[in-house]
Structure formats: C-alpha cells, structure tokens
Structure 1
Amino acid sequence: MQVINEQGLSIDGIVATNTSFDSPSEEEPKRTGHLRNADDDPEDNTEICFSSKSGQAYFPLRVVTRKDLAVIVSCFERSEKTECDAWRVFAELTKLQPFQDGNKRTALIAANAAAGTLVSG
C-alpha cells in the first residue's frame, strides 16, 4: 500500500503495487509487475472459469499494455471520484487481469487508493 500511496493511482502506481508482492511462496507470481503478453510467454495466457459444469469461461486480453491501464486510470480521473468510481477501478482491473498473479490484490489496493481510504503505515 505504501507504493501506491507514494505513486498515486497511476499506471506506474498499479505496476509498482504488483511488483511489491514478494514472498518465498511457490504461489507467488514469477514475474511481478510484468504485464501479461501471452503471445511471448505461454504462462501469461489465462482464463477465468465461471462454471466447471457448463465450461463457461472469460478470456481476458492475451496482451495487456500500459495503454490498457491508462484507460482505467483516465476513466477514474475524469469521473466524479465517488465510491462507485473507486469500485469501478477494482472491477476493471480485476477483469483486465493485467498480471500473472496478484490481480485482485492489486485491484483492491488501487481501488482503496482511488477512494482515498489507504492509511500510510
């Protein structure tokens, strides 16, 4: 949270937040802060399964760029900056799935930064 507090809700702040996730756990992403590019790295390919019974899934973009993050940031900057707008940041980042892992954590921290509810630690 300190990273996004320092950088603010910005492309660099979002990337730096994901980069800050560091743990010896095997479940941690191998390439924190790396925007997914499934065309270059098969491990960047992802899908979100809605139902194992029906086989329904959501397939995010194969290649995520800084421009994709810029759309989310600029939409928030142009908004009235309400609580709903901050939650939209969370929803859009979660849907975009810009990183190999840590997307919901990154999105939650970004949304809290947008809402102005982060506490410096």
Structure 2
Amino acid sequence: MKIRPHAFAVAVCAALALPAHAQHAAGNAFAQTKPDKGQAKSLATIVVTVTKRAELMQDVPIAISVVTSQDIRTAGVTSAADIASLVPGFVMVPLFGSSGYNPVIRGLSTTIGGPNVGFFVDG
C-alpha cells in the first residue's frame, strides 16, 4: 500500500497542532470566586439501616432514592403510587384484579417467592 507523502504530511501536522491548541485554550479559564462561608449550605446526613447496621447513605453499595416529607407535601402525594412521579426509574403497576400496586424499579419487580424490589415507608 502506497501512502502519498502529501496526505501523510497533512496528517502529521494536524496531529502535532492538537496539543498546541489544547494548551492555548486552557489559558482562557475564568477565575472562580470563593463561596461566602456565612452562606455555606450543608446536606442532611441520611443513615441507612436496611443492612441491619447503621451506615451513611454514601457508603451503601446500592442505589437509594430518598423522598422527604417536604417533597411529599410539595408534590401533593396521597398514595404510594403518587411517589412514582418523584423517583426516576420507579413506577407502580396496578395488580390484576385488585386495588393494590406492584412496585417496579428500573425494570425489576417483585414476583412470587422472589422479592427483587425493596419499598420501605418510615412513618
């Protein structure tokens, strides 16, 4: 296979120009202002006890969505099925022939003999 010298030279020049362009673009960064320490906000600590020992939510190796009482009041939630609008990837599917619902999280639902989904209500 013959490589044309002209096309090869263009490719080499383009490859050499990319790092130089990247170094030049970094000089245009804006200075960041320091946040005022008087207005610093802190997040509430969430302790997970589903594993039978108290752990911080950030240390638990499973996906957890928390809906606070303020979230419930703001959204006007009146049933567990309404909470599905607050949590991404979560739906409540009506059970056939009854007034109950089956929770489905990210495509996983509970089946007979195999609870794949945990749905806990505190209070």
Give TM class, smaller chain.
Answer: under 0.3
Higher Rg of the two aligned structures: 2
Identify the structure with the greater helix proportion.
1
Identify the structure with the greater strand proportion.
2
TM-score by length of 2: 0.19
TM-score by length of 1: 0.19
